[in-house]
């Protein structure tokens, strides 16, 4: 059975053994977007949402989620994160908010899932805080942009070409 196999001889899933790996600096960057009505975006950016500071709460929830990824994704290893940053870029023309998460750790396994979870939960928090204004919001394009560290080395997503 190879180290990358996640199933035993009986076909049961299991965690990959990372015990023999050495700890290295690991980083991952993920992004995603949440689309909404222009009035909803205006409420968020002007601080007019009744529940409070939408982006501030979304930032905290994304950070908290990154720290608890192994509790949410069954076969993820617990990782001691050294840094999680979440930034938001409102797009007035596209009526959306882009979410960008960067995660770092010095550990034996990567932090890609932590970055993806941070983006996803931040987007869902925005939805939750604004759903009374706009139930038609939708989250899209949650994806890994870049990761570094570990045996597999550096990965950078190729830029998308617009048609």
**Which tens digit of pLDDT belongs to each residue from 91-138?**
999 999 999 999 999 877 779 999 999 999 999 999 999 999 999 999
Tell me if residue 107 is catalytic: no
Annotated active-site residue in 39, 53, 87, 128: 128
The pLDDT assigned to 116 comes to 97
**Where on the phi/psi map is residue 140: left (φ > 0), alpha (ψ -120 to 50), or beta?**
beta
The rounded distance, in Å, linking the Cα atoms of 131 and 126 is: 8
Q: Whole-model pTM?
A: 0.86
């Amino acid at each position: 059975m190879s180290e990358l196999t996640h199933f035993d001889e009986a076909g049961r899933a299991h965690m990959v053994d990372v015990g023999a790996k050495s700890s290295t600096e690991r980083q991952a960057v993920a992004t995603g977007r949440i689309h909404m009505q222009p009035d909803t975006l205006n409420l968020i950016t002007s601080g007019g949402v009744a529940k409070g500071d939408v982006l501030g709460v979304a930032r905290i929830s994304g950070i908290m989620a990154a720290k608890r990824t192994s509790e949410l994704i069954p076969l993820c290893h617990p990782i001691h994160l050294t840094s999680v940053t979440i930034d938001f870029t409102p797009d007035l023309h596209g009526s959306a908010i882009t979410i960008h998460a960067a995660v770092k750790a010095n550990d034996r396994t990567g932090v890609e899932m932590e970055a993806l979870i941070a983006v996803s939960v931040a987007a869902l928090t925005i939805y939750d805080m604004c759903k009374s204004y706009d139930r038609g919001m939708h989250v899209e394009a949650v994806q890994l942009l870049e990761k570094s560290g570990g045996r597999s080395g550096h990965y950078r997503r190729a830029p998308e070409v617009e048609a």
